[in-house]
């Protein structure tokens, strides 16, 4: 959480100390410290503060204008109020301001508002500005609740502070809102405007109060200003904080593992290549500079032959155009070679799809370690549950077996869910109200309070094969992977709680999973949660050299690339286990969101990598 301190005014007009907590590194009070309090800010009534935020919505309360007295009339007539909101009469000062432009300009300048000079210099346009006040909802991203500020037209032109998306920094006094059941407990009566970041309302893409998910994804650089994305961001931040708190308090060391790797942990076609140099096993069709130069030479001979034969001009022109394109391609390839990352690595390099191999090396020295890093997957199978760039929590424990990794996974996930439920209750309540109602909260409560079910892969397959009231689209028999619909049925319909499935067939898990005595299954597990699917997976690692090298060969990997990994078995091997938690899928579970793309505004999926 952000540091806070008691604010004291630096303004010469306000010498009294402010008793409201402010952000440590500015005079601004976060809205969390005002309306995010349990009493909604009621205990701060009468206090003065500086607050800032972006405009969510606004209402202009226009003042009634006094009309001239008609000849023979005993009293002045009143014009109908503009708008559908309740209006109030003008004070003497407002009457003078409405009738004498000079007085209005002087008043604005004396008020010290940011928009004062602009309003005074606009001349005729100043007369068209609304006279009255604006009720503006602002939010600075620190909490779900908004703060209503009341801005008088004498401070600045109201259209500057009422545009959705505009940024304002204001100073004023907090007051309680009158009424039996007000939408807001408190509001701020603005006395000075310190900053306005204007917005062109006609061009601001998120001016709609409830923008669709597709629209929000189209503007990821502005998405965090929406209530939903801001709430998800705070949940994500709290989860990351809780991750470090859990492992640091349990004797783990945080280490950093590389994002660029030369080692393939599985099928190389699923990895993002960073270089143009491929190994002998790659069968990619490539356009090389040598091939282009040969094509240029051949095309030049063809043109010379066409010129000698006095062929038709169209054929000659087409050949010359082909030659120019080939030369341009040759220049591009040469430039690409000069600036290529090949010059850095001199070997094929990839974005890492997992961190477990490198993390194991530290577990074999520091015993208990974890890393929190991005991982990359080039093949996207389920766009609503998979991202090309995702964040994973990877953990390795030396001197441990499969049961220890399962126990640690359960404790970790329960701790994370409990912390987020307590510290982000407002965010989860807001997200649940628009997603799955109270179902999400009940699922989290059940996940934290009750023990998880643990079944073997074979038992899971037998259970699914005996189902008669449902037809699965995916074929299933022993040795085949469990599809998402299979996992959903087990977690949502059969057990209705988080489910650990372990002892998978060896062909379904990576080469490093420890082979069981039957030589058919391995010590590996998946954590399946309701409504989402697999959130975590783990395994006891194979420490026996013969079994490990055999599994590498069976997987079709080049053992030369893994010699550094095999050194950890050659030199002081140890039994160890580990697991990986997918952060985005865990966010799906705790928030009740349906699409993994909503867990990160800068999501990277198939055909989508905006900004």
Residue with tokens 């697999």: 534
Same domain, yes or no: 484 and 524:
yes
Q: Which helix (H) or strand (E) holds 577?
A: strand 576-582
Main-chain phi, psi angles of 324, to 5 degrees: -65, -40
User: CB 55: neighbour CB atoms within 10 A?
Assistant: 25
Coil, strand, or helix at residue 241?
A: helix
Residue where a domain stops, chosen among 345, 376, 392:
345
Pair (164, 94) in one structural domain: yes
C-alpha distances out from residue 180 to 61, 150, 186, Å: 21, 20, 13
Contacts of 335 by beta carbon, 8 Å cutoff, 6+ apart: none
- CATH number, position 125: 2.40.50.140
Is the residue at 605 inside a domain? no
Q: Which two tokens stand for residue 461?
A: 């397959």
Q: Which two tokens stand for residue 533?
A: 């699917």
Q: Identify the pLDDT of residue 73.
A: 41
Task: Note whether 321 and 444 are same-domain residues.
Answer: no
Identify whether 113 is part of a domain: yes
How far is residue 542's CA from residue 539's CA, in Å, rounded to a whole number? 9
292 three-state secondary structure? helix
Q: What is the DSSP letter of 173?
A: E
Specify whether 354 is located in the same domain as 335: no
- Based on the domain organization, do 377 and 359 belong to the same domain? yes
Alpha-carbon distance of 73 to 341, in angstroms, equals 87
Closest CA to 358 of 370, 376, 343: 370
The number of angstroms, rounded, from the C-alpha of 440 to the middle of its chain's C-alpha atoms is 20
Whether residues 360 and 453 share a domain: the answer is yes
pLDDT of amino acid 113: 47
Please name which of 157, 586, 595 lies closest in space to residue 392, comparing C-alpha atoms: 586
Residues 360 and 504 in one domain: yes
Q: Is 609 part of a structural domain of the chain? A: no
Q: What pLDDT sits at residue 356?
A: 94
In a domain, 141, yes or no: yes
Q: How many domains does the chain have?
A: 3
Rounded to the nearest angstrom, the gap between the alpha carbon of residue 534 and the centroid of all alpha carbons in its chain is 20
Distance of CA 543 to the CA centre of its chain: 37
Q: Are residues 507 and 535 in the same domain?
A: yes
Q: The domain that contains 559 carries what CATH number? A: 3.30.930.10
pLDDT reported for residue 97: 52
pLDDT averages per 10-residue partition of the chain, 611 residues: 53 50 87 92 93 93 57 38 40 52 55 45 48 93 95 92 95 86 84 95 84 85 92 96 97 96 67 61 55 82 78 76 82 59 68 92 96 86 75 97 97 96 93 64 79 96 93 92 94 94 96 95 97 95 95 88 93 96 94 88 78 77
Beta-strand runs (E) in 290-434: 350-351, 368-376, 389-398
Shared domain for 437 and 315, answered yes or no, is no
Residue 604 lies in a domain: no
Task: For 447-477, write each residue's pLDDT tens digit.
Answer: 888 889 999 999 999 999 999 888 899 899 9
Exposure on the CB side of residue 243, measured as CA atoms within 13 A: 23
The string of pLDDT tens digits covering residues 226-258 is 999 999 999 999 999 999 999 999 999 999 999
pLDDT of residue 330: 76
Q: Within this chain, do residues 138 and 176 fall inside the same structural domain, yes or no?
A: yes
Residue 54 contacts residue 137 (beta carbons within 8 Å):
no
The verdict on residue 218 lying in a domain is no
Q: Can you tell me which residue has the tokens 């545009």?
A: 163
Give, in order, the Cα–Cα distances in Å from 38 to each of 144, 287, 310, 438.
13, 65, 91, 21
**pLDDT for the residue numbered 253:** 98
Among candidates 195, 166, 87, 167, which has minimal Cα distance to 131? 87
Report pLDDT for 183.
76
Q: Are residues 335 and 353 in the same domain?
A: no
Contacts of 323 (CB under 8 A, 6+ apart): 296, 299, 300, 303
Q: Are residues 328 and 377 in the same domain?
A: no
Cβ atoms of residues 226 and 214 within 8 Å: no
Expressed as residue numbers, the domain containing 458 is: 225-274+349-599
């Amino acid at each position: 959480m952000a540091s806070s301190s008691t604010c004291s005014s630096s303004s010469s007009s306000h010498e009294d100390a402010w008793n409201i907590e402010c952000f440590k590194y500015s005079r601004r009070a976060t809205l969390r410290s005002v309306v995010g309090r349990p009493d909604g800010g009621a205990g701060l009534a009468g206090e003065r503060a500086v607050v800032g935020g972006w405009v969510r919505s606004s209402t202009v309360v226009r003042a009634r204008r006094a009309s001239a007295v008609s000849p023979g009339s005993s009293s002045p007539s009143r014009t109908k109020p503009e708008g559908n909101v309740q209006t109030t009469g003008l004070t003497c000062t407002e009457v003078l301001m409405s009738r004498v432009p000079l007085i209005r300009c002087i008043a604005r300048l004396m008020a010290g508002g940011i928009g004062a000079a602009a309003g005074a210099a606009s001349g005729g346009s100043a007369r068209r500005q609304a006279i009255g006040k604006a009720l503006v909802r602002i939010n600075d991203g620190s909490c779900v609740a908004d703060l209503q500020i009341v801005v008088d037209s004498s401070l600045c032109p109201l259209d500057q502070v009422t545009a959705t998306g505009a940024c304002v920094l204001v100073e004023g006094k907090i007051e309680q809102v009158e009424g039996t059941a007000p939408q807001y407990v408190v509001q701020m009566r603005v006395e000075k405007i310190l900053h306005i970041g204007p917005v062109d309302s006609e061009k601001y893409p998120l001016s709609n109060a409830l923008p669709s998910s597709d629209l929000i994804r189209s503007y990821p650089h502005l998405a965090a200003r929406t209530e939903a994305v801001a709430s998800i961001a705070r949940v994500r931040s709290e989860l990351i904080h809780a991750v470090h708190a859990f492992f640091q308090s349990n004797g783990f060391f945080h280490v950093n593992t590389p994002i660029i790797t030369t080692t393939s942990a599985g099928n190389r076609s699923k990895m993002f290549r960073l270089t143009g140099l491929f190994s002998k096993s790659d069968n990619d069709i490539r356009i090389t500079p040598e091939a282009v130069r040969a094509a240029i030479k051949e095309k030049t001979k063809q043109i010379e032959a066409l010129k000698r034969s006095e062929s038709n001009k169209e054929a000659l022109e087409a050949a010359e155009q082909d030659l120019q394109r080939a030369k341009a391609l040759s220049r591009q390839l040469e430039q690409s070679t000069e600036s290529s990352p090949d010059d850095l690595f001199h070997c094929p390099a990839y974005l890492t799809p997992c961190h477990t191999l490198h993390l194991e090396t530290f577990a074999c020295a520091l015993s208990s370690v974890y890393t929190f890093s991005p991982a990359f997957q080039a093949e996207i199978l389920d766009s609503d549950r998979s991202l090309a760039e995702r964040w994973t929590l990877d953990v390795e424990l030396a001197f441990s077996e499969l049961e220890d990794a399962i126990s640690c996974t359960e404790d970790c996930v329960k701790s994370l869910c409990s912390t987020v439920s307590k510290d982000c209750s407002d965010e989860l309540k807001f997200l649940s109200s628009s997603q799955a109602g109270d179902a999400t909260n009940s699922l989290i409560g059940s996940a934290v309070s009750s023990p998880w079910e643990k079944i073997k892969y074979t038992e899971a397959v037998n259970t699914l094969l005996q189902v008669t009231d449902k037809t699965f689209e995916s074929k299933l028999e022993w040795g085949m992977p469990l599809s998402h619909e299979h996992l959903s049925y087990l977690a949502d319909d059969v057990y209705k709680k988080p489910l650990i499935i372990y002892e998978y067939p060896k062909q379904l898990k990576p080469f490093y999973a420890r082979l069981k005595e039957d030589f058919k299954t391995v010590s590996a597990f998946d954590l399946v949660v309701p409504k989402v699917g697999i959130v975590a997976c783990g395994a006891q690692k194979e420490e026996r050299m013969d079994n490990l090298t055999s599994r590498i060969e069976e997987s079709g990997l080049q053992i030369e690339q893994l010699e550094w990994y095999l050194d950890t078995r050659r030199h002081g091997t140890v039994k160890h286990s580990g697991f990986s938690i997918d952060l985005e899928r865990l966010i799906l579970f705790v928030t009740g969101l349906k699409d993994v793309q909503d867990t990160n505004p800068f999501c990277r999926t198939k055909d989508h990598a905006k900004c």
